[in-house]
Structure 1
Amino acid sequence: MTITALQREPGEFWWGGVINEGHLMPFGDRPHSRDLRLTDDNQASPLLLSNRGRYIWSEEPFAFSFNESTLTIDHPQKITIEDGHFTLQGAYRHACVNHFPPSGVTPDEMAFTAPQYCTWVEMFYEPTQEKLIQYAKSIIENGFPPGVLIIDDNWMQDYGTWDFEKHRFPDPARMIQALHELGFKVMLWVCPYVSPDSITFRQLMSQDLLMKHADGTPVLRRWWNGYSGVVDYTREEGSAWFKRQLDRLTQDYGVDGFKLDAGEPILPDLLNDVSRDVEWSRPILPMEDCEAYARLGIGYGLSELRMCWKLGGQALIQRQRDKTHTWDATGLGGLISNAIAQGLMGYAYNCPDMIGGGMDGDINSPHFRFDSELFIRFVQCSALFPVMQFSMAPWRVLSGEELSWCMDAVQLRTKLGPAVLELANQAAVDGLPILRSLEFVFPNQGYHAIQDQFMVGDSILVAPVLMKGQLTRMIQFPEGRWLGDDESVVEGPIQLEVQAPLSRLPWYRKI
Structure 2
Amino acid sequence: MPTTDELELPLAPGELWWGGAVADGAAMPFGRAPHHRDLARNAGFADAEHDGANQSAPLLVSSHGRYVWSENPFAFTFADGSLTVSGDDVTVGSGGATLRDAFTTASRQHFPASGTTPDERMFSAPQYNTWMENPFLPTQEGVLDYVSRILGQGLPPGVVMIDDRWSQDYGAWRFDEGRFPDPAAMVATLHEWGCPVMLWVVPYVSPDSAEFRELEGRGLLLRRPDGEPVVRRWWNGYSAMLDLSHPDALGWLREQWAPLTAIGVDGFKLDGADLRYYADDDVAHDAPRPRTDLCEAWAALGSEYAFNEMRACWKLGGRPLAQRLHDKPSSWGSDGLGSLIPELVAQGLIGHPYTCPDMIGGGLMTGVTTPETVDQELYVRYAQVAALAPMMQFSLSPARVLDAEHRAAVASAVAVRDAHLPVILDLVRSASRTGEPVLRALAYHHPGFEHVADEFLLGEDVLVAPVLEPGATSRPVILPPGTWLDAAGAPHTGPGEVLLEVDLHTLPVFRRLPDDTQE
TM-score, normalisation: structure 1? 0.95
CA distance in structure 1 between the aligned counterparts of 2:481 and 2:293, rounded to whole angstroms:
43
1:157 match: secondary structure: strand
Distance (Å, rounded) in 2 between the aligned partners of 1:256 and 1:107: 12
Q: Distance in 2 between matches of 1:29 and 1:233?
A: 39
Given that residues 168 and 174 in structure 2 are in contact (C-alpha distance below 8 angstroms), is that contact kept between their aligned partners in structure 1?
yes
Q: Is the 2:222–2:241 Cα contact (8 Å) retained in structure 1?
A: yes
Q: Report the 3-state secondary structure (helix = DSSP H, G, I; strand = E; otherwise coil) of the residue aligned with 1:188.
A: strand
Tell me, yes or no, if the aligned pair for 2:367 and 2:373 is still in contact at 8 Å.
Answer: no
Is residue 39–residue 75 contact of structure 2 (8 Å, CA) maintained in 1? Answer: yes
User: Which residue pairs with 1:220 in the alignment?
Assistant: 231
Match of 1:490 among 466, 489, 492: 492
Structure 1 contact 260–306 (Cα < 8 Å) conserved: yes
From 420, 423, 436, the equivalent of 2:424 is 420
Q: Match for residue 359 of structure 2? A: 354
Identity, % of aligned pairs? Answer: 46
Q: Which residue of 1 aligns with 2:71?
A: 59
Q: How far apart are 1:247 and its partner, in Å?
A: 3.0
Q: Secondary structure of 2:76's match?
A: strand
Counterpart residue number, 2:145: 134
Aligned-residue offset at 1:210: 0.9
CA deviation after TM superposition for structure 1 residue 283, in Å:
4.7
Asked whether the 8 Å contact 1:336–1:453 carries over to 2, the reply is yes
Question: 2 CA distance for matches of 1:225 and 1:467?
Answer: 34
Count the aligned residue pairs: 501
Specify the alignment match of 1:383 in structure 2: 387
Per the alignment, residue 19 of structure 1 pairs with 22
Q: 1:164-217 CA distances to partner (integer Å, 9 max, x unpaired)? A: 111111111111011001000110000011111211111111111111123321
Per-residue CA distance 1:440-467 (angstroms, 9 max, x = gap): 022x2x2011110000111110000111
Tell me by how many angstroms 1:396 deviates.
Answer: 1.1
Residues 1:104 and 2:115 aligned together: yes
Match of 1:119 in 2: 130
Deviation at 1:267, TM superposition (A): 6.9
The alpha-carbon distance between structure 1 residues 502 and 110, as it changes in their structure 2 partners (threshold 3 A), is same
Q: How does 1:172-183 map to 2 (within 5 A)?
A: 172-183=183-194
Counterpart of 2:444? 440
Amino acid at match of 1:121: M
The alpha-carbon deviation at position 285 of structure 1 amounts to 3.4
Specify the alignment match of 1:69 in structure 2: 81
Q: What stretches of structure 2 of length at least 5 have no aligned partner?
A: 43-51, 514-519
Deviates further, 210-219 or 50-59:
210-219
Structure 1 residue 84: Cα displacement: 4.7
Return the offset for 1:319.
0.6
CA distance in 1, matches of 2:282, 2:111: 31
Is 1:31 the counterpart of 2:34? The answer is yes
CA apart distance, 1:327: 0.8
The match for 1:304 among 299, 309, 318 is 309
Are positions 1:6 and 2:9 aligned together? yes
1:198 aligns with 2:209: yes
Corresponding residue of 1:89? 100
Q: CA RMSD in A?
A: 1.6
* 2:171–2:204 CA contact under 8 A, matched in 1: yes
Q: For 1:70 and 1:376, how far apart are their aligned partners in 2? A: 41
Counterpart position of 1:272: none
Secondary structure of 1:38's aligned partner: coil
CA distance in 1, matches of 2:188, 2:278: 45
Cα offset, 1:255, TM superposition? 0.7
One-letter amino acid matched to 1:73: V
1:155 paired with 2:166, answer: yes
TM-score under structure 2 normalisation? 0.94
SS of the aligned residue for 1:296 comes to helix
2:369·2:396 contact (CA, 8 Å) conserved in 1? no
1:465 alignment partner in structure 2 = 467
Give the match for residue 396 of structure 1: 400
Output the CA distance in 1 between the equivalents of 2:284 and 2:257.
26
In structure 2, distance between residues paired with 1:334 and 1:461: 18
Change (3 A) 1:151 1:328: same
